[in-house]
Amino acid sequence: MKHKSLDLSKTALGIELGSTRIKAVLIDEFHSPVAHGEFEWENRFENGVWTYPLEDVWTGIQAAYQQISQEIATKFEIPLTTVGSIGFSAMMHGYLPFDSKGNLLTPFRTWRNTNTKMAAERLTELFQFNIPLRWSVAHVYQAILDNEAHIHDINFITTLAGYVHWKLTEHKVIGIGDAAGMFPIEKHTNNYNQEMLQSFQELVDSQNVSITLEDCLPKVLLAGDQAGSLTEEGAKMLDPSGTLQPGVPLCPPEGDAGTGMVATNTVKEHSGNISAGTSIFSMIVLDRDLHNYYKEIDIVTTPDGKPVAMVHCNNFTSDINEWTNVFKEFAEAIGVELSQQALFTTLFQEALKAESNVGDIVHCNYYSGEPITGLDQGRPLFARMPDSNFNLANFMRSQIYSAIATLEIGMEILTQKEKVQIEFLLGHGGFFKTEKIGQQMMADALKIPTSVMKTAGEGGPWGMSLLAAYMNHKSNDQMLASYLEQNVFNQESLTTTNPEKEGMQSFEAYLKRYKKMLNVEKAAVQYLN
């Protein structure tokens, strides 16, 4: 069935390379999605490193784009020869070093790797500023500490989003939100912190390493800046059929944290959001500097450069997904077919029936290392006492609480030590697709009202398409927050869930058990190899 006409010149395409899916969204001039594309992929643990082959990057992007193209052809009976603007985002940070000829010097090292502990600790002490394990500068310095041969050949370092953008436009640039996970940003200049760059340079010079980090980093751009256009070769990389024409403008590439803020309209001071998927992180836009620095808190920025306190946990739904697949296998074994969403909904609804003490059972959901609690590896665990009440409801509530627990451990620093005021949080990502259940448990755990928009399920790629549209359609000097409020979210309705006393007490008791469980987790990492 043909839909109403579509002006391709007023559309915006956002593509985000997440941990388990590469997702694409094309929006119209009213910022509404008109086509979707998706490609499932998974990281690999090879030679002690979490990675994705770059061949999979392009296979996935092309597959997601092809779905967009086919949907437009079906709905509107037109070929997708152009779009108004394009933006790419991806899982943040990690390490992609290239030589002067554009050759990748090591396999892509993702955010999930925790082998950078020594580098992160030394740089945090040097800068008096928290450098997380997954940040690009930690990967660079760890490679130097490990005397890796490739460090002498580094010409360019970027993130996954920056890499894709570079290949499609030939521009070595990056959005400030993603840049803030490569190297600390100076808020007054919206650029890399020069004092810290100098300190880093003196450090590596003393170790006789011939690298000038500042020259290797991509140029920092703000939301709304022009960031190049699709080259002829880039158009073919995105659409091998040759239908897409070159010349489409691209906005600065961003990280998935930045697109999450845009997708939830939380780029103003005092606002915050939670992105809940394979990993989970909260983003709180600050109105002042924190009094101290903490290894649990990353200081990054919004896509337009405002400082943000980020609590990032490497682990969230991986363990829940694994257990859900076991239940799915059982259902299929007895001849029952269930969709993934129906299965999640059923299991989450069961969690509502749990006892307040969750049956005195406990999970540790660490599929990989977790810097916030000092674990460099993960061992998913489930434990119960002989007299624990082990049933499905308690089991699922424990799974969900376990997934939230590490985020709460980090958030306690902001709310209790730093007295940061957070009026409410906006949730987005797959965890919030099961209506109200995860949302209520998140509100109870964090003791903060938690809201969800009807567009929450669109997530990062939609947020990236909004940044692409903002670059093309903003009025003179219109700030990002103003554009989002006036043009995108002016009629958006929220569903807000307030913390409930019984739920807060239940989670508090569980968190005490969870923290004790971490000693068991540390032993498991030590002895189960």
CB under 8 Å to 176, separation ≥6 — which residues?
A: 185, 190, 220, 221, 222, 223, 252, 301, 303, 304, 305
Looking at residue 455, its pLDDT comes to 59
DSSP character at residue 485: I
Tell me the CATH number of domain 318-454+499-527, given options 3.30.420.40, 3.40.630.30, 3.20.20.140, 2.60.40.420: 3.30.420.40
Looking at residue 4, its pLDDT comes to 73
Looking at residue 432, its pLDDT comes to 85
Looking at residue 429, its pLDDT comes to 77
447: left (phi over 0), alpha (psi -120 to 50) or beta: left
CB 176 within 8 A of CB 301: yes
Beta-bridge mates of residue 375 = 370
Domain positions in the chain are: 318-454+499-527
Looking at residue 3, its pLDDT comes to 63
What is the distance between the alpha carbons of residues 469 and 454, in angstroms, rounded to a whole number? 20
Mean pLDDT by 10 residues, the chain (529 residues): 81 95 96 95 91 96 98 96 98 94 96 90 96 95 96 97 98 97 95 97 91 97 98 98 98 93 89 87 90 91 94 92 95 93 93 96 94 91 96 97 96 93 84 86 94 72 96 92 92 87 97 97 95
Radius of gyration of the chain (CA): 23
Looking at residue 418, its pLDDT comes to 94
Looking at residue 1, its pLDDT comes to 52
What is the distance between the alpha carbons of residues 519 and 330, in angstroms, rounded to a whole number? 32
| Residue reference for tokens 């692409």 | 468
Looking at residue 64, its pLDDT comes to 98
CB under 8 Å to 115, separation ≥6 — which residues?
A: 48, 49, 142, 376
